Amino acid sequence: MQEIPALGMGTYRLKDDVAYASVTTALNLGYRHIDTAQLYENEEAVGRAIADSDVSRDELFITTKVWMDKFSEEKFLPSVEESLTKLQLDRVDLLLVHWPDESGAVAMEDYLAQLKAAQDKGYTKHIGVSNFTNAQLDQAISILGEGVIYTNQVEVQPFLQNQKVIAHCKERNVRVTGYMPLAVGKVMDNAVLQDIASELDVSPAQVALAWQFAQGLITIPSSTKESHLQSNLDAQKISLTDEHMKAIATLECNDRIANPDFAPKWD
């Protein structure tokens, strides 16, 4: 598969048999984009689900991410090899560095060199970054060159719309993958999203996903329920009007969910 599907299945917080069952259900429903990470400790379960599936490898787009404690030259490539072993894959389609290293323990030039080395070794088709600010993205592009970074995966949801980052990524020809698109369920209780959902006879969650698709974003909601996984797929058929988009734009309130103490200074 060459192009990343706009809808992926996120696997954050899914472990062991739950992760296996959820990915299996998603693949059976028609998902072809699965997102995991070393930090999630579920690559083995995800890999089993992929291996046990009847879906051809060529139809799948698999993403994983290298955690910061593996950024050194000694650990980076071995950690990717371990991920591939767990996933039972010869390569992934997209390999990301999960967060920028704000500690200074490993210079960006050094860990991005290892990321590129993983690509050059054939461990991944594409490479990218996650949780990078605009300045960090520019620095990464200056290190790797134009057109090398495939995506910047950042939090995007109706209450943290990240428009400065989205606009900058577009300028730099970098795709945006939005994680936590449903704001850990907060979208279900919002009156604006409820009103649009009622008008369109869909759910507020579907409206939140349709809003991302309308912006040309990739999004990776997570769910363990078959009905929710199907609902997320169906959201791709929803068309929002300009009025809907303007209404959702008013929900921006910088309500960031993923903000650990090692996070960069956000845009």
List, by residue number, the catalytic residues.
Answer: 40
What H or E segment, with its residue span, contains residue 7?
none
Positions at the binding site:
98
> What residues contact residue 78 under an 8 Å CB cut-off, 6+ apart?
70
Tokens of 32: 């072809």
The total number of residues written for the chain in this structure:
267
Q: Which residues are annotated as a binding site for substrate?
A: 98
Nearest to 100 by CA among 260, 231, 246: 260
33 within 8 A of 7, measured Cβ to Cβ: yes
In the chain, the largest separation of any two C-alpha atoms, in whole Å, equals: 55
The three-class DSSP label of residue 191 is helix
The Cα 52–Cα 55 span in angstroms is 9
Residue type at position 114:
Q
